Amino acid sequence: MAVRLGFIGFGIMGQRLLHAAHRHNNNVIQVSGIFDPSPESTTALNAIDPALESFASVEAVIDASDCLHIASPPLSHLDYLTQCNAAGRAALCEKPLATDVARATAVVEQMEAQEMRAAVNFPMASSFAVDYLQRWIDDGAIGTAEKVDIELKFPSWPRAWQMDAIDWLDKRAEGGFTREVGSHFLFLSQRLCGPVELLDATCGYPDDRLSERSLTATFKAGGLPVTMTGEVGTTEKPDHNTWTLTGSAGRVRLRDWSVAEQEIDGEWIAPADALDNELARPLILERQLNKVAAMTEGEKTDLATLREALDVQKTVEEILTR
């Protein structure tokens, strides 16, 4: 029987996943409906499929679903996870898992003890490009790993496609590019290199009311030195990012979310089947949804666990308070 997937919060991330679910094999995933208190959410839902239901309460969408995608603003994530758990439902939560690390730790420990079927939506867990990086590393292409460099650049913050969420996405309490984007690359470093430990960080806040506009941080990931820099207003791309792993025999990197590249004779070379992010995203979300269905059915997957997301968030919140 297909897994009934409901949506709590229907901004850009909820809409992206619902589009993917709507295209998915309906023997695996079926959309049960959404809950979002914003009147605009019903309009957005009707534009995708008028037959889908917009529920009047979070309790109603939880009751109608086997698994919930939690894509509301971050301060509500733990509350909704707790409600899903109490109802015996599985959940895929957007990152950041939370901004209150102490409360998140307590909630994660409770959910682990109760064996909740839950994951956090770090799509790099299903990235074709990350598969290439892992394969090159395993095949010895870089030799002995020596360091990681992460570079994040944005034309503005929030990015143009996120402006509907500016009320929280550009505030220090819930927003900022370190939480929204930097966390993906901390997760990647953690997955490929090992546990992350923050050494030092500096954030630039030109306006105390708003989120950071620059970042320099140093870490260790499984003992490897890691440097992360972030800047707003320094690229004309929608956003630009690189995660580069240097070793004794070579370098590999992830560029602009979805392109794996290996340095050969001084040039960065991508596989012939590399896709840019807009083309890769729906394929990656399809892989994620297959894993969400499997997780809901009680199977083990490689989706980001609550514990992994908590470890990432501890680092992120420590950066932001330095």
Confidence (pTM) = 0.96
How does strand 224-232 pair with strand 240-247?
A: unpaired
CA Rg value for the chain = 19
Q: From first to last of its 322 residues, what are the pLDDT tens digits of the chain?
A: 899 999 999 999 999 999 999 999 999 999 999 999 988 888 888 888 899 999 999 999 999 999 999 999 999 999 999 999 999 999 999 999 999 999 999 999 999 999 999 999 999 999 999 999 999 999 999 999 999 999 999 999 999 999 988 999 999 999 999 999 999 999 999 999 999 999 999 999 999 899 999 999 999 999 999 999 999 999 988 899 999 999 999 999 999 999 999 999 999 999 999 999 999 999 999 999 999 999 999 999 999 999 999 999 999 999 999 8
SS3 content of the chain, % helix, strand, coil (to 5): 40, 25, 35
* Residue 3: C-alpha distances to residues 81, 106, 227, 321 (Å): 18, 29, 41, 40
Res 130: pLDDT:
98
Going along the chain from its start, the domains and CATH numbers come out as 3-121 (3.40.50.720), 125-277+311-320 (3.30.360.10)
* Residue 242 DSSP label: E
* Helix, coil or strand: residue 309: helix
Res 191: pLDDT:
97
Half-sphere exposure of residue 196, counting CA atoms within 13 Å on the CB side?
A: 32
Res 275: pLDDT:
97
Res 7: pLDDT:
98
Task: List the one residue out of 183, 169, 212 whose CA is nearest residue 121.
Answer: 183
Q: Look up tokens 């001084």; give the residue.
A: 266
**Which are the contacts of 138, defined by CB distance < 8 A and separation ≥ 6?**
none
